[in-house]
């Protein structure tokens, strides 16, 4: 994550399918268990895992996109998520693998259901891809573990396929590989356009991986909610956005009937016919914290939710948001206020059946991993007030996910005897 001199970072994803009603994303949902959850209010706890074991495998259904919302089994699915980018790398070592389980356990205990994480590590320490299309089987097994472990905790994954930045390899590593193969590339952005680098990327075979724990092929596994083409893509050498558009239009993912996620570094509305992917928008805010950021966050989110609905007919997911403890003026209450603001803005949209598809905290860490903290890490066990906010939001979203059918819109809630209270 590009965290330099930012207070927080926010990203938007738009989701699109070639076939409007086709299956896009993975989501697990079981009506009975959700209703039970609703009755147990916000007491999210580990008994959910036991329920999970008793469930038939077919209760894991893929999430679809229907209009401007995500749905599964004809019910809405709002993303209630978090980021923990390093899961695969820590899973690759027996001594740290337990941290993966720990973060899933803690996140599911506060009701979080989607995790965004890296399915890439190119040419670096503990690389998944040591060279183009040359994989380290042990690291792949670590990723298998992450996927199967997530399912145990009813957590869906958004797997990112490459980094825009140099962390874990990224664009610079692909360029380096190209040059090692005899090319003369000088610009990182050649990643987007050079046929050799594009072929490296297209050959990256994560989607066809057969999980050694579950025997499931990744692209068929509903645990994987979505594939993200790249973490925070930018193509500064082409401000028109065309190069990036072209890159994101690569067809190799869609032939697996899997959603494309496109992330752009600028807000650009293209006619909805040409948008075939999910778009991300990144927002950077000045280096010192102030209350003005709260109202800005709200109106910024609202305007993008409105645009997603009005112009694109797509759900929008805010894929990274948080506050860095390293920034000037930081305090926990500011962080809590910002998180509440994001949650409430999403909920305002949810209540109206709008395009607000959910949000993902940047970022949740288990105890003992603070050495990797970029300032944004939330250790749930040490952050009671933040954990409470997350739990309350989970309770609210679970109600929407479980009680109302997609088609009945939220106007139906009274019919179901369901009263929504703001103070819930």
Ligand X SMILES: *[C@@H]1O[C@H](CO)[C@@H](O)[C@H](O)[C@H]1NC(C)=O
Nearer to ligand X, 203 or 290 (CB): 290
Choosing from 149, 228, 232, 309, the catalytic residue is: 232
Nearer to ligand X, 213 or 372 (CB): 213
Rounded to a whole number of angstroms, the minimum distance from the CB of residue 328 to ligand X is 8
Where does this chain bind ligand X (CB under 6 A)? 184, 186, 214-215, 289-291, 329, 331, 333-334
Q: Residues 46, 109: contact at Cβ < 8 Å?
A: yes
Rounded to a whole number of angstroms, the minimum distance from the CB of residue 329 to ligand X is 4
Question: Could you give the 3-state DSSP secondary structure of residue 58?
Answer: helix
The DSSP H or E segment spanning 225 is strand 224-228
**DSSP secondary structure, 300-341, as one string:** HHHHHHHHIIIII---EEEEEE---TTSBT--HHHHHHHHHH
**46 given a catalytic annotation:** no
**370 given a catalytic annotation:** no
For 327, the token pair is 């920034």
Question: Could you give the 3-state DSSP secondary structure of residue 391?
Answer: helix
Nearer to ligand X, 226 or 235 (CB): 235
CA pair distance 379, 365, nearest whole angstrom: 5
Count Cα atoms within 13 angstroms, Cβ side, for 337. Answer: 14
Question: Could you give the 3-state DSSP secondary structure of residue 356?
Answer: strand
Rounded to a whole number of angstroms, the minimum distance from the CB of residue 31 to ligand X is 26
Rounded to a whole number of angstroms, the minimum distance from the CB of residue 239 to ligand X is 20
Nearer to ligand X, 240 or 328 (CB): 328
Relative to beta strand 9-14, strand 280-284 is: antiparallel
Rounded to a whole number of angstroms, the minimum distance from the CB of residue 237 to ligand X is 13
294 exposed, middle or buried (CB, 10 Å; 0-12, 13-18, 19+)? middle
DSSP 75: E
Question: Could you give the 3-state DSSP secondary structure of residue 100?
Answer: helix
The DSSP H or E segment spanning 83 is strand 79-83
Nearer to ligand X, 272 or 290 (CB): 290
Rounded to a whole number of angstroms, the minimum distance from the CB of residue 372 to ligand X is 25
CA pair distance 166, 131, nearest whole angstrom: 15
CA pair distance 361, 373, nearest whole angstrom: 14
Nearer to ligand X, 186 or 271 (CB): 186
Q: Which residues are catalytic?
A: 232, 320
């Amino acid at each position: 994550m590009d965290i330099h001199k930012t207070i927080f970072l926010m990203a938007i994803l738009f989701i699109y399918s070639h076939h409007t009603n086709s299956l896009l994303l993975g989501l697990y949902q079981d009506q009975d268990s959700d209703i039970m959850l609703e009755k147990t209010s916000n007491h999210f706890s580990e008994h959910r895992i036991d329920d999970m074991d008793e469930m038939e495998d077919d209760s894991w259904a893929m999430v679809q996109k229907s209009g401007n919302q995500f749905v599964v089994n004809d019910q809405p699915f709002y993303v209630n998520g978090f980021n923990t980018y390093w899961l695969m790398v820590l899973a690759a070592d027996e001594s740290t693998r337990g941290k993966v389980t720990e973060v899933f356990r803690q996140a599911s205990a506060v009701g979080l259901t989607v995790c965004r994480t890296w399915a890439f590590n190119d040419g670096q320490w503990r690389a998944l891809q040591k060279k183009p299309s040359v994989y380290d089987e042990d690291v792949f097994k670590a990723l298998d573990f992450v996927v199967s472990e997530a399912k145990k905790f009813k957590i869906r994954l958004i797997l990112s396929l490459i980094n825009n930045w140099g962390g874990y390899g990224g664009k610079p590593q692909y360029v380096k590989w190209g040059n090692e193969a005899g090319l003369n590339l000088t610009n990182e952005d050649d990643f987007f356009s050079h046929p050799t680098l594009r072929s490296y990327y297209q050959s990256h075979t994560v989607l066809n991986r057969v999980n050694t724990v579950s025997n499931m092929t990744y692209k068929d596994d509903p645990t994987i909610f979505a594939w993200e083409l790249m973490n925070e893509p930018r193509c500064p050498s082409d401000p028109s956005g065309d190069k990036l558009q072209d890159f994101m239009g690569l067809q190799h993912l869609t032939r697996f009937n899997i959603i494309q996620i496109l992330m752009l570094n600028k807000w650009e509305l293209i006619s909805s016919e040409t948008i075939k992917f999910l778009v991300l928008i990144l927002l950077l805010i000045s280096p010192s914290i102030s209350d003005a950021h709260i109202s800005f966050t709200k109106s910024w989110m609202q305007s993008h939710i409105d645009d997603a609905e009005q112009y694109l007919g797509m759900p929008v997911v805010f894929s990274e948001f948080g506050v860095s403890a390293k920034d000037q003026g930081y305090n926990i209450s500011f962080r809590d206020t910002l998180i509440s603001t994001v949650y409430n803005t999403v909920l305002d949209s949810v209540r109206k059946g709008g395009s607000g598809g959910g949000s993902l905290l940047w970022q949740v860490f288990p105890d003992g991993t603070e050495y990797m903290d970029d300032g944004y890490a939330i250790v749930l066990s040490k952050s009671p007030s933040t954990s409470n906010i997350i739990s309350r939001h989970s309770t609210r979203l679970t109600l929407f996910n479980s009680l109302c059918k997609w088609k009945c819109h939220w106007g139906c809630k009274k019919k179901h005897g369901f009263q929504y209270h703001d103070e819930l």
